[in-house]
Amino acid sequence: MLPRHYRQLLIAVLSLIVLVSAVSAKTEAKKKDVRDFTDADLDKLLDEWEENDDEPLPEDEREGYVPKKSQAEYEEMIRKAGNPTEALKQSKHGQPVMMFVGIVNPTGEATTKAFSEQVSQLWVQSLFNNHMEVNSFTIEDDRVLFMFKQGSQAFDAEEFILKQPQCKDITLEGKVTLGAGGKAQKKEL
């Protein structure tokens, strides 16, 4: 039989060998060819990378960054635009913009949420076909919010939607404009 301190040393060495083999087996399992990574593996790797990154990203490398224009650039843009609407359109380039649209049922029936959603989805599809990225949210039975990631597109979309018979009015950048449906209602009164 071995003396007590030799037994303790033997147990410690065996424990260390088991621990080292477990750790090496774990790291070998993690080493995977980059070409075999799935999207989930890449997302996990990015999350680990960002967790271990001590310094925050510079402002110009963050998602959704829009470079700020100097006063001189802004004044030059307004001068070149010609009219105030065009200047506003250019100033909203690259910024998100919300547009509120009032919906009216041209048949004279009450406007329901289902009708508003159907009409807004038709408009979203038409705008998408014209390469405009827009999301719509029905906020009331007769009111829809359109979100444009590229703010300058909201002004082009406004021209299209104003011509639709289901459009009562549009509120864009604080300016309310009557649509084809709103003008028809006004004539009836």
- pLDDT for the residue numbered 139: 95
Domains of the chain: 95-188 (3.30.70.260)
Query: Which residues are within 8 A (CB) of 19 and not within 5 positions of it... i.e. 6 or more apart?
Result: none
What does the CA dihedral 11, 12, 13, 17 come to, rounded to 10 degrees? 100
The one-character DSSP state at 14 is H
pLDDT of res. 26: 60
pLDDT for residue 76:
74
Q: DSSP 3-state helix, strand, coil percentages of the chain (rounded to 5)? A: 55, 15, 30
**Which residues are bridge partners to 178 per DSSP?**
169
Check residue 132 and give its pLDDT.
Answer: 93
Task: Kindly give the parts of the chain with pLDDT less than 70.
Answer: 1-2, 25-30, 66-67, 69-70, 74, 77-78, 81, 184-189
- β-pairing, 134-140 with 167-172? unpaired
pTM of the model: 0.59
> Cα 123 vs. chain centroid, distance in angstroms?
19
Query: By the 8 A CB rule, do 84 and 155 touch?
Result: no
Confidence at residue 184, expressed as pLDDT on a 0 to 100 scale: 64
pLDDT at 36: 82
Residue 95 is predicted with a pLDDT of 86
What is the DSSP secondary-structure string of 139-159?
EETTEEEEEESSTHHHHHHHH
**Start-end of H helices in 31-178:** 39-52, 71-81, 84-91, 113-129, 152-162
